[in-house]
Amino acid sequence: MAVNKSTKANRINVVDPVYAILQSDTKEGTTYGEVKNLGEAMQVQLTPSLSAGTLYGNGVQQENISRLNGIALVIDVNKVKIEARTEILGNVYENGVVHEKAGDEAPYIAVGYKVEQTNRKVELIWLLKGRAQPISSSVQQSTENINFSTDSITINFIPRDSDKELRFFADSSNADLTQSQIDAWFLTGPSKAPVPNPTV
């Protein structure tokens, strides 16, 4: 029987979304650019993309299988800064102005964020290879109350060419995850998942 190495922790908040431009993805490996801020997180929704199949024989199900082949991320933030907006959507930024053209192609990016939990624990997530759709936003007129406008980003993630990986996920409530791994999680792009420091 597997040993339970996780203590109790429940999700209470999402914070610190970041992104990194994917620079190359080949069978030799995947490389990323600098890790940059994506704004102040409000909400994250993940929806798996599945391939499913059912086999019947003698009038009953003989096989029923689902396989993960992608992940759709919708992340709501207070506001995407103009520099980040330009970079993740493949637009041109010049003299303080974003130039959006028909046919602009978003680059592949990785997106990471933290999920704060009870008992001072945290989940750490990197989604590894996806393209952002044009950012959705709505602005309302202020009436008796101030109505804030926010940005919503939809990104569809696919497996990397180098290793077919979609996501790195870690939880500090699990005893196997070390502090050195937690500290290193967002220092660089997710070419590899952080590993524990070797013992001396």
Asked if residue 1 has pLDDT above 60, the reply is no
For residues 109 and 106, give the distance between their C-alpha atoms in angstroms, rounded to a whole number: 9
pLDDT at 22: 98
| pLDDT top residue among 107 and 68 | 107
Contact 109, 96 (CB under 8 A): no
Asked if residue 200 has pLDDT above 50, the reply is no
Q: For the segment 123-180, what is each residue's pLDDT rounded down to a tens digit?
A: 999 999 999 999 887 777 777 888 888 899 999 999 999 999 999 999 999 999 999 9
126 Cβ neighbours under 8 A, 6+ residues apart: 110, 111, 112, 167, 168, 169, 185, 190, 193
pLDDT at 50: 87
**Residue 17's closest CA among 155, 138, 180?**
155
Task: For domain 11-54+62-184, give the fold.
Answer: Pnp Oxidase; Chain A (2.30.110)
